[in-house]
Protein backbone atom coordinates (compact mmCIF):
# COMPACT_ATOMS: atom_id res chain seq x y z
CA UNK A 1 0.00 0.00 0.00
CA UNK A 2 1.30 3.41 -1.00
CA UNK A 3 0.95 6.27 1.52
CA UNK A 4 0.64 9.79 0.07
CA UNK A 5 0.77 13.05 1.99
CA UNK A 6 -1.23 15.59 -0.02
CA UNK A 7 0.86 18.54 1.11
CA UNK A 8 3.94 20.59 0.27
CA UNK A 9 4.43 21.74 3.88
CA UNK A 10 7.99 20.96 5.03
CA UNK A 11 6.73 20.68 8.62
CA UNK A 12 4.03 18.13 7.77
CA UNK A 13 6.57 16.12 5.77
CA UNK A 14 9.09 16.26 8.62
CA UNK A 15 6.72 15.22 11.38
CA UNK A 16 4.69 12.57 9.53
CA UNK A 17 7.91 10.55 9.26
CA UNK A 18 7.64 9.84 12.99
CA UNK A 19 4.53 7.73 12.50
CA UNK A 20 4.80 6.76 8.79
CA UNK A 21 8.45 6.20 7.86
CA UNK A 22 7.73 5.51 4.17
CA UNK A 23 5.45 7.85 2.21
CA UNK A 24 5.38 10.17 -0.78
CA UNK A 25 4.60 13.89 -0.61
CA UNK A 26 2.37 15.00 -3.47
CA UNK A 27 0.98 18.54 -3.22
CA UNK A 28 -2.63 19.00 -4.24
CA UNK A 29 -3.76 21.34 -7.02
CA UNK A 30 -6.94 22.09 -5.11
CA UNK A 31 -7.71 25.81 -5.04
CA UNK A 32 -8.12 26.86 -1.41
CA UNK A 33 -10.81 29.40 -0.61
CA UNK A 34 -10.46 30.80 2.91
CA UNK A 35 -13.04 33.51 2.25
CA UNK A 36 -16.00 31.24 2.99
CA UNK A 37 -18.10 32.38 5.95
CA UNK A 38 -17.78 29.17 7.93
CA UNK A 39 -16.73 28.21 11.44
CA UNK A 40 -13.00 27.35 11.61
CA UNK A 41 -13.61 23.65 12.24
CA UNK A 42 -15.98 23.42 9.25
CA UNK A 43 -13.63 25.34 6.96
CA UNK A 44 -10.54 23.24 7.68
CA UNK A 45 -12.43 19.99 7.14
CA UNK A 46 -13.80 21.24 3.81
CA UNK A 47 -10.35 22.30 2.63
CA UNK A 48 -8.67 19.08 3.80
CA UNK A 49 -11.32 17.03 1.98
CA UNK A 50 -10.78 19.05 -1.21
CA UNK A 51 -7.02 18.48 -1.13
CA UNK A 52 -7.30 14.74 -0.48
CA UNK A 53 -9.98 14.24 -3.14
CA UNK A 54 -7.86 16.06 -5.73
CA UNK A 55 -4.89 13.76 -5.14
CA UNK A 56 -7.15 10.69 -4.89
CA UNK A 57 -8.43 11.31 -8.44
CA UNK A 58 -4.89 10.94 -9.75
CA UNK A 59 -4.52 7.55 -8.03
CA UNK A 60 -7.96 6.06 -8.67
CA UNK A 61 -6.54 2.66 -9.62
CA UNK A 62 -3.89 2.48 -6.89
CA UNK A 63 -3.84 0.71 -3.56
CA UNK A 64 -3.11 3.79 -1.46
CA UNK A 65 -3.75 5.80 1.67
CA UNK A 66 -3.97 9.56 1.19
CA UNK A 67 -3.57 12.03 4.08
CA UNK A 68 -4.25 15.76 3.83
CA UNK A 69 -4.53 18.60 6.29
CA UNK A 70 -5.43 22.27 6.53
CA UNK A 71 -4.82 24.56 9.50
CA UNK A 72 -6.26 27.93 10.53
CA UNK A 73 -5.64 30.23 13.46
CA UNK A 74 -8.64 32.03 14.97
CA UNK A 75 -9.37 34.37 17.84
CA UNK A 76 -12.86 35.29 19.01
CA UNK A 77 -14.23 33.49 15.94
CA UNK A 78 -12.14 35.54 13.49
CA UNK A 79 -9.92 33.49 11.21
CA UNK A 80 -6.36 34.75 10.73
CA UNK A 81 -4.93 33.56 7.42
CA UNK A 82 -1.36 33.96 6.23
CA UNK A 83 -0.42 37.66 6.42
CA UNK A 84 -0.45 39.55 3.13
CA UNK A 85 2.34 41.89 4.16
CA UNK A 86 4.33 43.27 7.09
CA UNK A 87 1.50 45.45 8.36
CA UNK A 88 -0.96 42.55 8.24
CA UNK A 89 1.48 40.41 10.25
CA UNK A 90 1.96 43.21 12.80
CA UNK A 91 -1.80 43.54 13.32
CA UNK A 92 -2.18 39.80 13.81
CA UNK A 93 0.53 39.63 16.46
CA UNK A 94 -1.04 42.61 18.25
CA UNK A 95 -4.35 40.71 18.35
CA UNK A 96 -2.78 37.48 19.62
CA UNK A 97 -0.39 38.84 22.26
CA UNK A 98 -1.75 38.70 25.77
CA UNK A 99 -4.63 36.44 24.69
CA UNK A 100 -5.66 32.84 24.13
CA UNK A 101 -6.43 31.80 20.56
CA UNK A 102 -7.34 28.58 18.79
CA UNK A 103 -5.50 26.55 16.18
CA UNK A 104 -7.77 24.19 14.26
CA UNK A 105 -6.52 21.52 11.84
CA UNK A 106 -8.81 19.55 9.58
CA UNK A 107 -7.61 16.17 8.32
CA UNK A 108 -8.94 13.95 5.56
CA UNK A 109 -7.81 10.36 5.15
CA UNK A 110 -8.84 8.46 2.02
CA UNK A 111 -8.19 4.73 1.64
CA UNK A 112 -8.45 3.47 -1.94
CA UNK A 113 -8.20 -0.14 -3.03
CA UNK A 114 -9.65 -2.01 -6.03
CA UNK A 115 -12.10 0.75 -6.85
CA UNK A 116 -13.39 1.06 -3.29
CA UNK A 117 -12.84 4.34 -1.49
CA UNK A 118 -13.24 4.97 2.24
CA UNK A 119 -13.05 8.50 3.69
CA UNK A 120 -12.50 9.81 7.20
CA UNK A 121 -12.63 13.56 7.97
CA UNK A 122 -12.05 15.13 11.38
CA UNK A 123 -10.56 18.14 13.11
CA UNK A 124 -8.47 18.87 16.17
CA UNK A 125 -8.48 22.13 18.14
CA UNK A 126 -5.69 23.43 20.38
CA UNK A 127 -5.77 26.49 22.64
CA UNK A 128 -2.60 28.57 22.61
CA UNK A 129 -1.68 31.34 25.06
CA UNK A 130 0.68 34.11 23.96
CA UNK A 131 2.30 36.33 26.56
CA UNK A 132 1.97 40.09 26.51
CA UNK A 133 4.44 41.72 24.13
CA UNK A 134 5.72 45.28 24.08
CA UNK A 135 5.61 47.28 20.85
CA UNK A 136 9.40 46.99 20.74
CA UNK A 137 9.18 43.19 20.91
CA UNK A 138 6.54 43.12 18.19
CA UNK A 139 8.62 45.33 15.90
CA UNK A 140 11.74 43.27 16.57
CA UNK A 141 9.85 40.10 15.60
CA UNK A 142 8.36 41.63 12.44
CA UNK A 143 11.78 42.82 11.26
CA UNK A 144 13.64 39.58 12.06
CA UNK A 145 14.67 36.88 9.58
CA UNK A 146 15.08 33.12 9.74
CA UNK A 147 16.54 30.36 7.61
CA UNK A 148 13.85 27.99 6.34
CA UNK A 149 14.51 24.27 5.68
CA UNK A 150 14.54 25.13 1.96
CA UNK A 151 17.54 27.39 2.55
CA UNK A 152 15.51 30.57 1.97
CA UNK A 153 15.97 33.49 4.32
CA UNK A 154 12.53 34.92 5.14
CA UNK A 155 10.70 36.79 7.85
CA UNK A 156 9.41 34.26 10.43
CA UNK A 157 5.82 35.42 9.94
CA UNK A 158 5.80 34.91 6.18
CA UNK A 159 3.60 32.11 4.83
CA UNK A 160 2.31 31.21 8.31
CA UNK A 161 -1.30 31.35 9.45
CA UNK A 162 -1.58 33.80 12.33
CA UNK A 163 1.89 35.17 11.48
CA UNK A 164 3.85 32.82 13.74
CA UNK A 165 5.20 29.30 14.14
CA UNK A 166 5.09 27.52 17.48
CA UNK A 167 8.25 25.57 16.64
CA UNK A 168 10.27 28.72 15.91
CA UNK A 169 11.94 31.27 18.20
CA UNK A 170 8.62 33.12 18.56
CA UNK A 171 7.07 30.07 20.22
CA UNK A 172 10.06 29.64 22.51
CA UNK A 173 9.89 33.26 23.67
CA UNK A 174 6.21 34.10 23.81
CA UNK A 175 3.99 31.00 23.96
CA UNK A 176 3.27 30.55 27.65
CA UNK A 177 0.56 27.91 27.55
CA UNK A 178 -0.98 25.26 25.35
CA UNK A 179 -4.04 23.04 25.81
CA UNK A 180 -4.27 20.20 23.33
CA UNK A 181 -1.97 18.57 20.77
CA UNK A 182 1.28 20.49 20.21
CA UNK A 183 1.68 18.97 16.74
CA UNK A 184 -1.78 20.19 15.82
CA UNK A 185 -0.40 23.74 16.08
CA UNK A 186 2.39 22.74 13.69
CA UNK A 187 -0.34 21.59 11.30
CA UNK A 188 -0.46 17.82 11.71
CA UNK A 189 -2.19 16.22 14.75
CA UNK A 190 -0.03 13.11 14.84
CA UNK A 191 -1.70 11.21 17.70
CA UNK A 192 -5.16 11.40 16.12
CA UNK A 193 -3.84 10.57 12.65
CA UNK A 194 -1.97 7.56 14.03
CA UNK A 195 -5.09 6.35 15.82
CA UNK A 196 -7.04 6.54 12.55
CA UNK A 197 -4.48 4.92 10.21
CA UNK A 198 -2.93 2.16 12.33
CA UNK A 199 -5.71 -0.25 11.35
CA UNK A 200 -4.38 -0.20 7.79
CA UNK A 201 -0.89 -1.46 8.70
- Whether the pLDDT of residue 34 is over 70: the answer is no
The mean pLDDT of the chain is 93
Mean pLDDT lowest among 44-58, 71-85, 140-154? 140-154
Q: What is the mean pLDDT of residues 158-175?
A: 92
Annotation marks residue 70 as catalytic:
yes
Q: What is the reported pLDDT for 146?
A: 86
Q: What is the pTM of this model?
A: 0.91
Residue 39, domain CATH: 3.90.950.10
pLDDT at res. 152: 86
Distance CA 112, CA 65 (A): 6
Tell me which of 179 and 9 has the higher pLDDT.
179
Domain count across the chain: 1
pLDDT of residue 35: 62
Strand partners, 122: 107
pLDDT in tens, 167-198: 888 999 999 999 999 999 999 999 999 999 99
Q: Which of 70, 76, 168, 181 is catalytic?
A: 70
Distances in Å between the Cα of 42 and the Cα atoms of 105, 148, 166 are 10, 30, 23
How far apart are alpha carbons 125 and 184 in whole angstroms?
Answer: 7
Range of the domain at 156: 2-200
Amino acid sequence: MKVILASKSPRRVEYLKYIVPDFEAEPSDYEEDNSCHMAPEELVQMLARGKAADVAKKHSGDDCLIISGDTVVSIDGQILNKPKDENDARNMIRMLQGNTHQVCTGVCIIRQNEGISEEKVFFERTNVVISKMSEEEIEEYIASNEMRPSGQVMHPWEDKAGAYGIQDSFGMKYISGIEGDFYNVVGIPLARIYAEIKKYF
